[in-house]
Amino acid sequence: MIPTLSAHGATIPSIGFGTSQLGDCADEVATALKLGYRHIDTAWKYGSEQGVGDGIKKSGVARKDIFLTTKVSHEYLRAADFARSVEESLTRLQTDYVDLLLVHWPTIDNIPLEETMGALAKARQQGKTRFVGVANFNIALLDEAMRLCPEQFSVLQAEYHPYLDQSKMLAHCREKGLIFMAYCPLARGGVFKDPVLGEIAKKRGKTIAQIALRWLLQQEIVAPIPRSANPQHMAESLDVFDFMLDTDEMKRIHALKRADGRIANPKGRAPAWD
Ligand SMILES: NC(=O)c1ccc[n+]([C@@H]2O[C@H](COP(=O)([O-])OP(=O)(O)OC[C@H]3O[C@@H](n4cnc5c(N)ncnc54)[C@H](OP(=O)(O)O)[C@@H]3O)[C@@H](O)[C@H]2O)c1
Protein backbone atom coordinates (compact mmCIF):
# COMPACT_ATOMS: atom_id res chain seq x y z
CA MET A 1 0.00 0.00 0.00
CA ILE A 2 1.30 3.43 -0.97
CA PRO A 3 1.03 6.05 1.81
CA THR A 4 -1.43 8.84 1.04
CA LEU A 5 -1.58 12.62 1.40
CA SER A 6 -4.74 14.53 2.26
CA ALA A 7 -5.95 18.00 1.31
CA HIS A 8 -9.41 19.48 1.63
CA GLY A 9 -11.22 16.16 1.43
CA ALA A 10 -8.98 14.53 -1.17
CA THR A 11 -6.83 11.52 -0.30
CA ILE A 12 -4.14 11.00 -2.91
CA PRO A 13 -1.42 8.33 -3.20
CA SER A 14 1.89 9.99 -2.41
CA ILE A 15 3.45 8.56 -5.60
CA GLY A 16 1.63 8.55 -8.92
CA PHE A 17 2.33 7.36 -12.46
CA GLY A 18 2.94 9.93 -15.22
CA THR A 19 1.91 9.24 -18.82
CA SER A 20 3.15 12.14 -20.96
CA GLN A 21 5.11 10.93 -24.01
CA LEU A 22 3.87 7.35 -23.49
CA GLY A 23 1.27 7.62 -26.30
CA ASP A 24 -0.79 4.43 -26.51
CA CYS A 25 0.14 3.41 -22.98
CA ALA A 26 -2.41 0.66 -22.19
CA ASP A 27 0.31 -1.90 -21.42
CA GLU A 28 2.38 0.51 -19.30
CA VAL A 29 -0.68 1.65 -17.31
CA ALA A 30 -1.87 -1.93 -16.76
CA THR A 31 1.62 -2.90 -15.59
CA ALA A 32 1.85 0.12 -13.27
CA LEU A 33 -1.51 -0.69 -11.71
CA LYS A 34 -0.56 -4.35 -11.26
CA LEU A 35 2.66 -3.22 -9.53
CA GLY A 36 0.62 -1.16 -7.07
CA TYR A 37 0.35 2.38 -8.50
CA ARG A 38 -3.07 3.84 -7.70
CA HIS A 39 -2.72 7.34 -9.10
CA ILE A 40 -2.51 7.80 -12.88
CA ASP A 41 -1.75 11.27 -14.27
CA THR A 42 -2.84 12.08 -17.82
CA ALA A 43 -3.99 15.10 -19.84
CA TRP A 44 -6.04 15.86 -22.94
CA LYS A 45 -2.80 17.26 -24.40
CA TYR A 46 -0.70 14.09 -23.91
CA GLY A 47 -2.75 11.92 -26.25
CA SER A 48 -2.51 9.22 -23.57
CA GLU A 49 -6.09 9.26 -22.26
CA GLN A 50 -7.33 6.44 -24.50
CA GLY A 51 -4.36 4.31 -23.46
CA VAL A 52 -4.99 5.12 -19.80
CA GLY A 53 -8.65 4.09 -20.15
CA ASP A 54 -7.67 0.88 -21.94
CA GLY A 55 -4.92 0.18 -19.39
CA ILE A 56 -7.30 0.56 -16.46
CA LYS A 57 -9.68 -1.96 -18.08
CA LYS A 58 -6.82 -4.31 -18.87
CA SER A 59 -5.42 -4.18 -15.33
CA GLY A 60 -8.57 -5.53 -13.70
CA VAL A 61 -8.17 -2.95 -10.91
CA ALA A 62 -11.54 -1.47 -9.96
CA ARG A 63 -12.06 2.12 -11.09
CA LYS A 64 -13.05 3.14 -7.55
CA ASP A 65 -9.63 2.06 -6.28
CA ILE A 66 -7.80 4.34 -8.74
CA PHE A 67 -7.13 8.06 -8.38
CA LEU A 68 -7.30 9.45 -11.92
CA THR A 69 -6.09 12.93 -12.88
CA THR A 70 -6.59 14.71 -16.19
CA LYS A 71 -6.18 18.29 -17.38
CA VAL A 72 -7.87 20.82 -19.63
CA SER A 73 -5.42 22.38 -22.07
CA HIS A 74 -4.86 26.14 -22.43
CA GLU A 75 -6.66 26.18 -25.81
CA TYR A 76 -9.92 25.21 -24.12
CA LEU A 77 -10.34 27.65 -21.27
CA ARG A 78 -13.55 29.29 -22.55
CA ALA A 79 -16.47 27.76 -20.61
CA ALA A 80 -18.02 25.92 -23.58
CA ASP A 81 -14.65 24.60 -24.80
CA PHE A 82 -13.74 23.56 -21.27
CA ALA A 83 -16.93 21.51 -20.87
CA ARG A 84 -16.37 19.85 -24.27
CA SER A 85 -12.75 19.01 -23.39
CA VAL A 86 -13.86 17.37 -20.13
CA GLU A 87 -16.46 15.29 -22.01
CA GLU A 88 -13.85 14.18 -24.56
CA SER A 89 -11.45 13.24 -21.77
CA LEU A 90 -14.11 11.17 -19.98
CA THR A 91 -15.01 9.38 -23.23
CA ARG A 92 -11.37 8.47 -23.91
CA LEU A 93 -10.79 7.48 -20.29
CA GLN A 94 -13.95 5.32 -20.43
CA THR A 95 -15.23 6.62 -17.11
CA ASP A 96 -17.99 8.91 -15.81
CA TYR A 97 -15.67 10.94 -13.60
CA VAL A 98 -12.06 11.75 -12.88
CA ASP A 99 -10.74 12.17 -9.35
CA LEU A 100 -8.81 15.34 -10.10
CA LEU A 101 -9.34 17.89 -12.86
CA LEU A 102 -6.62 20.49 -13.41
CA VAL A 103 -6.30 23.53 -15.63
CA HIS A 104 -3.10 22.52 -17.46
CA TRP A 105 -1.57 26.01 -18.02
CA PRO A 106 -2.86 29.54 -17.44
CA THR A 107 -4.49 31.29 -20.40
CA ILE A 108 -2.40 32.98 -23.08
CA ASP A 109 -5.48 34.51 -24.73
CA ASN A 110 -6.73 36.81 -21.98
CA ILE A 111 -9.70 34.58 -21.33
CA PRO A 112 -11.14 35.82 -18.02
CA LEU A 113 -9.93 33.56 -15.22
CA GLU A 114 -13.38 33.87 -13.67
CA GLU A 115 -14.92 32.15 -16.72
CA THR A 116 -12.43 29.27 -16.56
CA MET A 117 -12.83 28.89 -12.80
CA GLY A 118 -16.62 28.84 -13.24
CA ALA A 119 -16.23 26.02 -15.77
CA LEU A 120 -13.87 24.11 -13.47
CA ALA A 121 -16.29 24.46 -10.54
CA LYS A 122 -19.22 23.38 -12.75
CA ALA A 123 -17.36 20.20 -13.73
CA ARG A 124 -17.11 19.36 -10.04
CA GLN A 125 -20.70 20.30 -9.28
CA GLN A 126 -21.85 18.04 -12.14
CA GLY A 127 -19.86 15.12 -10.71
CA LYS A 128 -17.40 15.00 -13.60
CA THR A 129 -14.53 15.36 -11.15
CA ARG A 130 -14.21 14.75 -7.41
CA PHE A 131 -11.52 17.37 -6.82
CA VAL A 132 -10.07 20.37 -8.62
CA GLY A 133 -6.86 22.37 -8.92
CA VAL A 134 -4.44 23.97 -11.36
CA ALA A 135 -1.02 23.25 -12.86
CA ASN A 136 1.73 25.68 -13.82
CA PHE A 137 0.20 28.72 -12.11
CA ASN A 138 2.45 31.09 -10.16
CA ILE A 139 1.53 32.16 -6.62
CA ALA A 140 -0.38 35.29 -7.66
CA LEU A 141 -2.37 33.39 -10.31
CA LEU A 142 -3.02 30.51 -7.93
CA ASP A 143 -4.43 32.89 -5.31
CA GLU A 144 -6.57 34.66 -7.89
CA ALA A 145 -7.85 31.32 -9.22
CA MET A 146 -8.73 30.13 -5.70
CA ARG A 147 -10.51 33.41 -5.00
CA LEU A 148 -12.56 33.13 -8.20
CA CYS A 149 -13.34 29.40 -8.04
CA PRO A 150 -16.48 28.54 -6.09
CA GLU A 151 -14.97 25.11 -5.36
CA GLN A 152 -12.03 24.50 -2.99
CA PHE A 153 -8.73 23.47 -4.63
CA SER A 154 -6.90 20.39 -3.34
CA VAL A 155 -3.80 20.37 -5.56
CA LEU A 156 -1.23 22.53 -7.29
CA GLN A 157 0.74 20.55 -9.89
CA ALA A 158 4.13 21.96 -10.91
CA GLU A 159 7.62 20.96 -11.95
CA TYR A 160 9.82 19.94 -9.04
CA HIS A 161 13.11 18.04 -8.80
CA PRO A 162 16.50 18.63 -7.16
CA TYR A 163 17.58 21.21 -9.76
CA LEU A 164 14.59 23.52 -9.25
CA ASP A 165 13.98 25.76 -6.25
CA GLN A 166 10.27 25.61 -5.42
CA SER A 167 10.60 26.82 -1.82
CA LYS A 168 8.26 29.82 -2.28
CA MET A 169 5.48 27.82 -3.92
CA LEU A 170 5.92 25.00 -1.40
CA ALA A 171 5.53 27.40 1.52
CA HIS A 172 2.45 28.85 -0.13
CA CYS A 173 0.88 25.42 -0.72
CA ARG A 174 1.55 24.53 2.93
CA GLU A 175 -0.17 27.70 4.06
CA LYS A 176 -3.20 26.98 1.84
CA GLY A 177 -3.35 23.29 2.76
CA LEU A 178 -2.72 22.13 -0.83
CA ILE A 179 -0.87 19.05 -2.04
CA PHE A 180 2.10 19.95 -4.27
CA MET A 181 2.04 17.34 -7.07
CA ALA A 182 5.57 17.22 -8.48
CA TYR A 183 5.97 16.63 -12.20
CA CYS A 184 9.31 15.89 -13.91
CA PRO A 185 10.43 14.53 -10.51
CA LEU A 186 13.47 12.91 -12.15
CA ALA A 187 14.18 16.02 -14.24
CA ARG A 188 13.22 13.88 -17.28
CA GLY A 189 16.26 11.71 -16.69
CA GLY A 190 18.55 14.66 -15.85
CA VAL A 191 19.28 13.38 -12.34
CA PHE A 192 20.89 10.11 -13.32
CA LYS A 193 24.48 11.30 -13.71
CA ASP A 194 24.47 13.52 -10.63
CA PRO A 195 27.53 12.80 -8.43
CA VAL A 196 25.87 13.94 -5.17
CA LEU A 197 22.76 11.84 -5.77
CA GLY A 198 25.03 9.01 -6.92
CA GLU A 199 27.06 9.13 -3.72
CA ILE A 200 23.96 9.14 -1.48
CA ALA A 201 22.43 6.33 -3.55
CA LYS A 202 25.57 4.20 -3.15
CA LYS A 203 25.72 4.78 0.59
CA ARG A 204 22.02 3.90 0.99
CA GLY A 205 22.05 0.93 -1.37
CA LYS A 206 19.34 2.61 -3.44
CA THR A 207 19.15 3.95 -7.01
CA ILE A 208 19.45 7.63 -7.92
CA ALA A 209 15.76 7.67 -8.91
CA GLN A 210 14.82 6.37 -5.47
CA ILE A 211 16.94 9.04 -3.75
CA ALA A 212 15.40 11.86 -5.83
CA LEU A 213 11.86 10.58 -5.16
CA ARG A 214 12.55 10.08 -1.46
CA TRP A 215 13.83 13.67 -1.20
CA LEU A 216 10.52 14.91 -2.66
CA LEU A 217 8.40 12.65 -0.45
CA GLN A 218 10.14 13.80 2.72
CA GLN A 219 8.89 17.34 2.06
CA GLU A 220 5.55 16.07 3.41
CA ILE A 221 3.06 17.74 1.05
CA VAL A 222 4.85 16.67 -2.14
CA ALA A 223 3.48 13.86 -4.32
CA PRO A 224 5.81 12.98 -7.24
CA ILE A 225 4.42 11.45 -10.45
CA PRO A 226 7.34 9.78 -12.28
CA ARG A 227 6.78 8.38 -15.76
CA SER A 228 8.35 5.15 -16.96
CA ALA A 229 7.91 2.65 -19.76
CA ASN A 230 10.16 0.15 -17.97
CA PRO A 231 8.50 -2.21 -15.45
CA GLN A 232 11.72 -2.52 -13.43
CA HIS A 233 11.92 1.27 -13.10
CA MET A 234 8.21 1.45 -12.23
CA ALA A 235 8.75 -1.03 -9.39
CA GLU A 236 11.89 0.75 -8.17
CA SER A 237 10.08 4.07 -7.96
CA LEU A 238 7.47 2.53 -5.67
CA ASP A 239 10.10 0.98 -3.43
CA VAL A 240 10.95 4.16 -1.55
CA PHE A 241 9.12 3.78 1.73
CA ASP A 242 11.63 1.69 3.68
CA PHE A 243 14.30 4.32 4.30
CA MET A 244 14.71 7.96 5.35
CA LEU A 245 17.24 10.53 4.16
CA ASP A 246 18.88 12.32 7.08
CA THR A 247 18.99 16.11 7.52
CA ASP A 248 22.43 16.40 5.96
CA GLU A 249 21.42 14.36 2.88
CA MET A 250 18.25 16.45 2.46
CA LYS A 251 20.34 19.65 2.67
CA ARG A 252 22.89 18.40 0.13
CA ILE A 253 20.11 17.62 -2.35
CA HIS A 254 18.41 20.99 -1.74
CA ALA A 255 21.76 22.62 -2.57
CA LEU A 256 21.65 21.14 -6.12
CA LYS A 257 19.10 23.79 -7.21
CA ARG A 258 20.19 25.87 -10.21
CA ALA A 259 19.00 29.18 -11.62
CA ASP A 260 18.37 27.47 -15.01
CA GLY A 261 16.97 24.23 -13.59
CA ARG A 262 13.48 24.55 -15.06
CA ILE A 263 12.63 22.12 -17.88
CA ALA A 264 8.98 22.90 -18.74
CA ASN A 265 9.10 26.58 -19.64
CA PRO A 266 7.19 27.05 -22.91
CA LYS A 267 7.82 30.46 -24.44
CA GLY A 268 4.75 32.67 -24.44
CA ARG A 269 2.81 30.32 -22.17
CA ALA A 270 4.76 30.13 -18.92
CA PRO A 271 3.80 32.72 -16.30
CA ALA A 272 6.49 34.76 -14.48
CA TRP A 273 7.74 32.10 -12.08
CA ASP A 274 8.11 32.77 -8.35
N1 LIG B 1 1.33 19.54 -15.70
C2 LIG B 1 2.29 19.62 -16.59
O3 LIG B 1 2.43 20.63 -17.30
C4 LIG B 1 3.26 18.48 -16.73
C5 LIG B 1 4.45 18.68 -17.45
C6 LIG B 1 5.34 17.60 -17.56
C7 LIG B 1 5.02 16.39 -16.98
N8 LIG B 1 3.84 16.21 -16.30
C9 LIG B 1 3.48 14.90 -15.71
O10 LIG B 1 4.57 14.44 -14.91
C11 LIG B 1 4.98 13.15 -15.37
C12 LIG B 1 6.47 12.93 -15.11
O13 LIG B 1 7.28 13.88 -15.76
P14 LIG B 1 8.13 13.50 -17.07
O15 LIG B 1 7.48 12.36 -17.76
O16 LIG B 1 8.29 14.75 -17.86
O17 LIG B 1 9.58 13.15 -16.53
P18 LIG B 1 10.23 12.27 -15.32
O19 LIG B 1 9.22 11.41 -14.67
O20 LIG B 1 11.02 13.25 -14.50
O21 LIG B 1 11.31 11.41 -16.09
C22 LIG B 1 10.96 10.37 -16.94
C23 LIG B 1 12.24 9.66 -17.34
O24 LIG B 1 12.80 9.00 -16.19
C25 LIG B 1 13.04 7.63 -16.48
N26 LIG B 1 12.72 6.87 -15.25
C27 LIG B 1 11.55 6.84 -14.57
N28 LIG B 1 11.66 6.11 -13.45
C29 LIG B 1 12.92 5.63 -13.41
C30 LIG B 1 13.63 4.81 -12.52
N31 LIG B 1 13.07 4.32 -11.40
N32 LIG B 1 14.92 4.53 -12.81
C33 LIG B 1 15.52 5.01 -13.93
N34 LIG B 1 14.89 5.80 -14.82
C35 LIG B 1 13.60 6.12 -14.57
C36 LIG B 1 12.14 7.27 -17.61
O37 LIG B 1 12.76 6.30 -18.42
P38 LIG B 1 12.18 4.79 -18.56
O39 LIG B 1 10.90 4.89 -19.32
O40 LIG B 1 13.27 4.07 -19.28
O41 LIG B 1 11.99 4.29 -17.16
C42 LIG B 1 12.03 8.59 -18.38
O43 LIG B 1 13.06 8.72 -19.33
C44 LIG B 1 4.58 13.18 -16.86
O45 LIG B 1 4.60 11.90 -17.44
C46 LIG B 1 3.23 13.84 -16.76
O47 LIG B 1 2.25 12.89 -16.35
C48 LIG B 1 2.98 17.25 -16.14
Residue 126 pLDDT > 90: yes
What strand order describes the sheet that includes 222-224?
A: 17-18, 39-41, 67-72, 98-103, 129-135, 153-159, 179-183, 222-224
* Ligand 1 atom closest to 213 (CA): 31
Distance between Cα 224 and ligand 1 center (Å) = 10
Alpha carbon distance 154, 214 (integer Å): 22
- Half-sphere exposure at residue 273, Cβ-oriented, CA atoms within 13 angstroms: 22
Would you state the pLDDT for residue 168? 98
In short, whether 184's Cβ falls inside 6 Å of ligand 1 is yes
User: Looking at the annotation, which residues are catalytic?
Assistant: 46
Q: How many Å is the maximal CA-CA distance in the chain?
A: 54
Residue 17 pLDDT > 90: yes
- Under 8 Å between Cβ of 41 and 19: yes
Would you state the pLDDT for residue 151? 98
Q: What percent of the chain has pLDDT over 90?
A: 98
The mean per-residue pLDDT over the stretch 50-64 comes to 98
**pTM assigned to the model:** 0.98
Reported as type and span, the H/E element at residue 132 is strand 129-135
Nearest residue by C-alpha to atom 10 in ligand 1: 183
Strand partners, 5: 12
Pocket test for ligand 1, best of 184, 194, 210, 214 (most atoms within 8 A of CB): 184
What are the C-alpha distances in Å from 120 to residues 85, 134, 146?
11, 10, 11
- pLDDT averaged over the chain? 97
Distance between Cα 187 and ligand 1 center (Å) = 7
Distance between Cα 226 and ligand 1 center (Å) = 4
CATH code of the domain occupying 10-186+220-229: 3.20.20.100
In short, whether 157's Cβ falls inside 6 Å of ligand 1 is yes
Q: Residue 1: which pLDDT band, with cuts at 50, 70 and 90?
A: confident
pLDDT digits (tens, 9 = 90+) for 144-159: 999 999 999 999 999 9
Q: What percent of the chain has pLDDT over 70?
A: 100
In short, whether 182's Cβ falls inside 6 Å of ligand 1 is no
Residue 268, sorted as left (phi over 0), alpha (psi -120 to 50) or beta, turns out to be left
Residue 270 pLDDT > 90: yes
Please choose, from the candidates 11, 52, 37, 42, the residue with its C-alpha nearest in 3D space to the C-alpha of residue 239: 37
- Under 8 Å between Cβ of 147 and 93: no
Residue 268 pLDDT > 90: no
Pocket test for ligand 1, best of 183, 194, 234, 239 (most atoms within 8 A of CB): 183
Q: What are phi and psi of 180, to 5 degrees?
A: -100, 105
In short, whether 16's Cβ falls inside 6 Å of ligand 1 is no
Nearest residue by C-alpha to atom 27 in ligand 1: 228
